[in-house]
Structure 1
Amino acid sequence: MRNISKLYLYLTLLLVNLCWVMPAQSERVADLYSASWPVENQSTGVRQNAMQNVFAEVLVRVSGNKAVVNNSQIQAVLSDAQNYMRQYSYKRLSAEEQMVYERPLLLVATFDSQAIHRILKEAQQPIWSENRPAGSFWIAVEEDGQRRVVSESRDQVAIAIKRAAARRGLPIVMPLMDLEDKSEVSVGDVWGRFTGPIKRASERYNADYVVAGQLSQSGGQWMGRWSLDLGGNVENISSTASSKQQVVADLIDQIADKLAARLSVVLSDQVLAVEIFVENINTLDAYAGARRYLDGLGMTQSVRVLQVKDSAVLFEVKVQSSPQSLIDAINIGNNLRRIPTDQGLGGRYSFRWRD
């Protein structure tokens, strides 16, 4: 029976492999090619001015590079934002959101993804794929002598964090701070950035990295001290500004910059083949998940199966970057875990699919 199951899996994977010749697709950051800008009204003049800002924001999100708008080739196309727009709409903001955005409406616009990629590639700018690591954010705020952990709510700090993360295309999750969270982590743990309890509490959110920190006010200035835990490597970041929204935006920018530095790539015209050996592929769902994950990486041109043996699959991944850029992109997520003994000999790298 076991051999029959293996044969069934093998034949099924071969059939899927033969049929699956589409371009790279994977789980994506929602609306990566859409962005928004706060506006006072829906007049044509206001919309046209705001559209350039929305277009610039999309270029920053997709490239992962804040300085992309300083590139001369990029600046030349910003005024043509309307030519690349596919659709736009308006969203009326709640009272809490208006306190953060300082306007009653958001102009939301979506741009053509292929045109965005072409613009960035012609300007030799990096591209960061839609398949991005998700982070759990544990932030303690001190106001009026009281400390609290920002949760998934309409709290102004939560809105500011979500706005800044959306601006950079970062998928994030805020803790619920329900009984389960409170039993694992305290306000003091978050304020002190004690990684042990915070990482344990983050397991339920299936995050690829964890951010913990504090936000406080002193002498009219807001200060944030955060820690980014990415695969066990902890980096401390800080910022000071006149408003908590500015501090949050700057700290999110720093996190996005660090992630993009590892994951965004300037696509090459040269295509290289890299072999990725994946263990623990016991079901078709696991196979589909591993393939989607590899397909969704920004440097991936195509993926195909070379071999199926027992519960392992050998993929050939063709990339428009260096093999190391591919491995770095895989390592930053939680879906595929590098096998400790793997040395990447002969251009083959070994991973284990997470259950």
Structure 2
Amino acid sequence: MNCKSLFLSIILLFIASHAQASSIKRMYEVSQPVVSQDKQIRNAAFEQGLIEVAMRVSGSSRAPAEIDLMVASQMISQYRYFIMSEKEINAYMKQSASQGTPLEKPRYRLWMKFDDAKVKQQLGNNGLPIWGYQRPNVLIWLAVKDGKNRYLLKKSDQSQIKDTVEKEAHRRGLPIIWPEYDTLDRQQLSFIDVWGEFWEPLKQASQRYKADAVLLGKMNWANGSWQVNWSLLMEDRIESWKLSALDMGMITSSGIDVATDHVSSRFAVYANSANDGELLVRVSDLYSVKNFATVSHYLASLAPVKSVYASEVKGAQVDFYLELSGDEKDLKRIIALGKILQPDTRAEEEPSEYVVRQGQMPMDSEKPDTGVTAVQGIQSDNGQSAKQEPLSPEVQRPQKPQPNMLRYRINS
């Protein structure tokens, strides 16, 4: 193996092993309990699976009404059956009974994986956005009065309400955080503060969790039904809504649905060829292969990015060429959400003598000791967010206007 192939292998290894905490995994995978392996039942499960995947990828609760379910079976890339254990079956039947929807006892769990390109095309054709893998973490402060007790739900609690919230958040692809509500939290925040929606102590107590948004819920059982007041704090804006229902599962799921719609509306990107463009992103302080791989993976995973490659290296400074689905504002807004990059406002330094352009690979003897090199066609570990776009060293890219440049530095 030559030095170029070896270095590329190292880069890809780092990319595959450094995912971000708020990166959604298995976005296009879902499973459904089924009673048999009959084709008609399987196709019905495919339709339900497409509904879930479409909502997760678009971030929109409008997806079920907009997509074409008749083509669900044509969008499957893989599927397989797993025999359900008695414990799984009993848990499923118990949950169904509690929701007032008695169902036939299932025997199998049908796992299915949808083709990401076909799903994105389906969403785009029906006017729905794409929400990328990188998503904001949402901290949940949920105060409950159940008729007998009052309490704040915390990370260590075992609770049906908490389980329902987590299940719906997973279904919608919303990363959530439960508070520890330990001694440190209790010194800053009480049940009354949450119930009274006193945002100053809420903001102070939330700082330790470094969440991107805070979801406050006040859940009360009164007069034979549940009432919940929800408020979402994100980017210094508060959105509030109220829900009421007899069923606890329905009201908590609906609350997460509305919250997800609010969050995704800020970060999901609509496909619009009129806004497609190109951009250079110059990232500084990349002193190691790990830093290089982290930034490459991160840029490739962002919703507006169709493809990305490292076009030029100047010491510990790398220029990434991006093809966008959307515009520069979309990208800047989503990068501001994350914790990987921060704007570089320092004065531009003179280029070092060591410059590697896309399509080149220096010999070992020519490399300075920076730990960074140029690699063609960096691709995300899931192979879905960005495509390789290699250029042969012998092929010259046609001259065209230089795209705009954004300057960032990696967060230390």
- TM-score, length-normalised on structure 2? 0.68
Residue 319 (structure 1) aligns with = 324
Deviation at 1:29, TM superposition (A): 0.8
8 Å Cα contact 1:224-1:247 kept in structure 2: yes
Unaligned runs of 5+ residues in structure 2 are: 347-402
1:266 Cα deviation (Å)? 2.9
1:62 maps onto 2:57 in alignment? yes
CA distance in 2, matches of 1:334, 1:97: 42
Please give the root-mean-square deviation of Cα atoms over the aligned residues, in Å.
Answer: 3.8
Aligned equivalent of 1:32, options 27, 30, 46? 27
- The amino acid across from 2:241 in the alignment is I
In structure 2, the residue matched to 1:349 is 406
Identity fraction in percent: 24
Question: What is the match of residue 193 of structure 1?
Answer: 197
- Aligned-pair CA distance for 1:284: 4.4
Check whether the contact 1:55–1:81 (CA below 8 A) recurs between aligned residues.
no
CA deviations on 1:252-308 (whole Å, 9 max, x unpaired) are 111211222222223345741123344565554444333322111122122234556
Shift of 1:19: 7.1
Aligned to 1:8: none
User: Counterpart of 2:113?
Assistant: 111
Give the corresponding residue for 2:357.
none
* Structure 1: unaligned runs, 5 residues or longer: 1-11
Where 2:62 maps in the other structure, the secondary structure is: helix
User: Structure 1's 204 and 121: CA in aligned 2 closer, same or farther, altered over 3 A?
Assistant: same
Which one of the candidate residues 125, 133, 136 is aligned to 1:133? Answer: 136
User: For residue 87 of structure 1, what is the aligned residue in structure 2?
Assistant: 80
Corresponding residue for 1:273? Answer: 278
- 2:83, 2:196 → 1: CA distance? 41
Match of 2:262 in 1: 258
Of the candidates 41, 47, 56, which is equivalent to residue 52 of structure 1? 47
Aligned counterpart for 1:304 among listed residues 295, 305, 309: 309
Q: Trace 1:4-43 onto structure 2 (pairs within 5 A).
A: 27=20, 28-37=23-32, 41-42=35-36
CA contact (8 A) 2:11 2:293 kept: no
Paired residue type of 1:347: N
Q: Distance in 2 between matches of 1:188 and 1:282?
A: 48
Whether the 8 Å CA contact 1:210–1:228 is kept in 2: the answer is yes
More helix by share: 1
Deviations 1:3-47 (A, max 9, x none): xxxxxxxxx9xx769977xx99964412211234466x4564655
Give the total of aligned pairs. Answer: 334
Could you tell me which amino acid in structure 2 is paired with residue 146 of structure 1? N
Kindly tell me: are residues 18 and 197 of structure 1, through their superposed partners in 2, closer, same or farther at Cα, counting changes over 3 Å?
A: same
Counterpart in 1 of 2:392?
Answer: none
Give the Cα–Cα distance (whole angstroms) in 2 for the partners of residues 289 and 37 of structure 1: 34
Structure 2: distance between partners of 1:207 and 1:88: 37
Map 1:154-303 → 2, pairs under 5 A: 154-269=158-273, 271-278=276-283, 281=286, 283-303=288-308
State the distance in 1 between where 2:178 and 2:208 align. 12
Rounded Cα–Cα distance in structure 1 between residues aligned with 2:326 and 2:83: 39
Distance (Å, rounded) in 1 between the aligned partners of 2:201 and 2:93 = 31
1:121-166: CA deviations, max 9, x gaps? 4445322222222212111111124211112343011111111111
* Structure 2 residue matching 1:157: 3-state secondary structure: helix
